[in-house]
Amino acid sequence: MQIITQERTGSAQVLQLSEKPTPEPGPGELRVRVVAAGVNPVDAAVRAGDFPLIGAPPFTLGWDLAGEVEAVGPGVRWYRPGDRVAGLARFPQQAATYASHAIVPEEEIARVPSQVDLQQAGALPLAGLTAWQALVVAGGLAPRQRVLIHSGAGGVGHLAVQIAKARGAHVTATASAGKLELLRELGADIAVDYHRAQPVGPFDLVLDPQAGVQAETSVALTRAGGKVITLLDFTETAAQLAQARGVHLQRIMVRPGAHHMAALMTLMAEGALRVVVDRTFPLAEAGAAQDYLAEARPAGKVALIP
């Protein structure tokens, strides 16, 4: 099998294409031939040593994948060779999906319907599950709620816009001027150029991927009893403001979940959710893919195609 490895932390140049024996699945595990693996900001942070999530090198990055089951381990109940699957594997432990083959637990994987493209499915898991768990699980998203999604054209944001619309919310989303049309295509009721204007609240639910000082604005735009869900740390000022205003302020970290993945797959099969894949890279260019994601700040997702 082909696999991306690194012996030290550093720039994208530390990522190397290697060959290793193809592994066999253990109890409850599947060996998946990877058709696509999403590239996420956390990948580069771990690679550089800024976020020591999986310890010191050597290690292999990657948690997203979609592909076909090649082999199943003892005790596997739900899958057979040839099945199309996708999921977020083992996060926040090492999953090593930057590879032509990966070993994944069956309880973290969902079936990919025939209507769904495997490249889109492979770019979905971490970002899609983050959006679902922020809005639906932590946020308690309900029909007719007024929802604000910051960075609505980003990897998480563009999926969150569609999930919120599919569940009957009124969606306001922010982006730079060149991405506003995409927000409207994805279903946003109001698209705001964050360089020029402030969203008009109050909102029932806010998804704030950037947090930090921005979380203070998010809280100020939220009604009493509403919720602000962040993906990064927020300031102490934001926490104090939330308490004073009666706003629930919470940071979440995504977790694998087959049932959440299955819900996302259903939305994709129904045409209510699509993954905007801005660009794909061959596995050998994993470093270039990470640099592109960081520097170009594309709309949607970037994926590796082994």
Same domain, 148 and 104: no
Q: In the prediction, which pLDDT does 233 show?
A: 96
Same domain, 140 and 226: yes
Same domain, 239 and 201: yes
Alpha carbon distance 165, 104 (integer Å)? 31
- 96-106 pLDDT tens trace: 999 999 999 99
Same domain, 6 and 108: yes
Q: In the prediction, which pLDDT does 57 show?
A: 97
Same domain, 147 and 193: yes
Q: Which residues of the chain have pLDDT under 70?
A: none
Find out whether 29 and 108 touch, Cβ atoms under 8 Å.
Answer: no
pTM, entire model: 0.97
Total domains, the chain: 2
Exposed, middle or buried by CB within 10 Å (0-12, 13-18, 19+), for 23?
A: middle
69 lies in some domain = yes
Same domain, 22 and 66: yes
Alpha carbon distance 39, 62 (integer Å)? 7
Same domain, 131 and 120: no
Q: In the prediction, which pLDDT does 30 show?
A: 98
Tokens 């948690």 -> residue: 63
Same domain, 76 and 144: no
- 228-244 pLDDT tens trace: 999 999 999 999 999 99
Q: What share of the chain is helix, strand, coil (3-state, %, to 5)?
A: 30, 30, 40
Q: In the prediction, which pLDDT does 120 show?
A: 97
Same domain, 157 and 208: yes
First to last CA, the chain: 10
Angle at 11 between CA 298 and CA 296, to 5 degrees: 15
Find out whether 135 and 141 touch, Cβ atoms under 8 Å.
Answer: yes
Q: Which domain holds residue 214?
A: 127-251
Same domain, 231 and 176: yes
Q: In the prediction, which pLDDT does 23 show?
A: 96
Alpha carbon distance 158, 152 (integer Å)? 5
Alpha carbon distance 89, 67 (integer Å)? 13
Find out whether 188 and 138 touch, Cβ atoms under 8 Å.
Answer: no
What CATH number has the domain bearing residue 35? 3.90.180.10
173 lies in some domain = yes
What CATH number has the domain bearing residue 223? 3.40.50.720
